[in-house]
Structure 1
Amino acid sequence: MSTRWYPAYQRGNPQLRVFLPNFWMKLVRCPVSQPPNIVHFIVSNEMTRMDVKNYLEKIYNIPVVHVSTRIVMGTTRRDPGKGYVVKDDDYKVAYVTLPRDVEFKFPDLFPENKKVEDDKKSLEEAKKGFRTYLEKNKKDPGSPGWFSF
């Protein structure tokens, strides 16, 4: 279960009570192409359609038109070491439909051109540092790097 159970009531002030939901939602990319206003979530098995809708509307202020859910059975496979059959946990998938004018687009967290430029820059710095290391230890090639003059 969850670690977010309410603490036991104790007399006196202040009351240390924080009310957090026992639910979680994970935003994932849908394996098949969907319209831009449908968002794919993997949610807690205890969540209902109304829970998903209220969670998104009340906490994140996202307008939700419709929610459909389904339970996906976990995969079964044979354990390679022991040889017995192992079954992964089942999970629930929620498809959230947003209004027609709202379009969801995944953010581009790792833009290709900036990442390549940063990698090239760090590679050149590493090469430059290695060249200076070789120049320092040219006189004594067998000595360790920390023993330089």
Structure 2
Amino acid sequence: MSTRWYPIYQRGNPQLRVFLPNFWMKLVRPRPKQQPNMVQFQCSMEMTKTDIKNYLEKIYKVPVIEVRTKILLGRFRRDYGKGYIVKDDDEKHAFVTLPKSMQFEFPNIFENAKDEEEESMKSLDEAKKSYKNYIDRNKDRPDVPSWFSI
């Protein structure tokens, strides 16, 4: 939770202020059988349904039809070092319904991983070839150190 407080209201000639929200939202990978116009977020516990709707509409300009929230209780577990029971923090999940014309697709951040893998394989093959050339060049001189070459 943020430690910021909302500024106190001042009558008369108030100073210009920037109101930063104490709220946060995190996009969560959707469950497998979810409608294409549904988006799932993990948000701060203090947010209400109207806060979530206004947050998405005003800041990100996303049209929102409906918001449903669900609070997931934290897990109880035994602390290994001390031996006493610890409870994890609760989480609030928001399920946001978009208009039927909009479809949300979770972003694939690993789309360039295949290209990078191919490049690394090429560089590995080049390194193998250069090492083989080095071995072939020095095969007749086994007693000469590797750092000494003509």
Give the TM-score normalised by structure 2. 0.74
Q: Which runs of structure 2 are paired with 1:20-99 in the superposition (5 Å)?
A: 20-99=20-99
Are the equivalent residues in 2 in contact too, given 1:6–1:17 (CA < 8 A)? no
Distance in 2 of aligned mates of 1:126 and 1:61: 51
Distance apart, 1:58 and its partner CA? 0.4
Root-mean-square deviation (Å): 3.3
Unaligned runs of 5+ in 2: 9-14, 136-141
Q: Which has the larger radius of gyration?
A: 2
Confirm whether residue 117 of structure 1 aligns to residue 122 of structure 2. no
Using the TM superposition, give the Cα deviation of residue 124 of structure 1 relative to its aligned residue in structure 2, in angstroms.
Answer: 4.1
Distance 1:123 1:68 in 2: 51
Within-5 A mapping of 1:126-137: 131=131
- Tell me which amino acid in the other structure corresponds to 2:121: K
Identity %: 58
Would the alpha carbon gap of residues 127 and 34 (structure 1) be closer, same or farther in structure 2, given more than 3 Å must change? same
Structure 1 residues not aligned, in runs of 5+: 9-14
Q: How many residues align?
A: 137
SS of the residue aligned with 1:140?
coil
Change in Cα spacing, 1:16 to 1:126, as seen in structure 2 (3 Å) is: farther
Kept in 2, the 8 Å contact 1:65–1:98? The answer is yes
- State the one-letter code of the partner of 2:94: A
Contact 1:38 1:98 in 2 (8 A): yes
TM-score, normalising length: structure 1:
0.74
Distance 2:87 2:67 in 1: 28
How far, CA to CA, are the matches of 2:128 and 2:7 in structure 1? 56
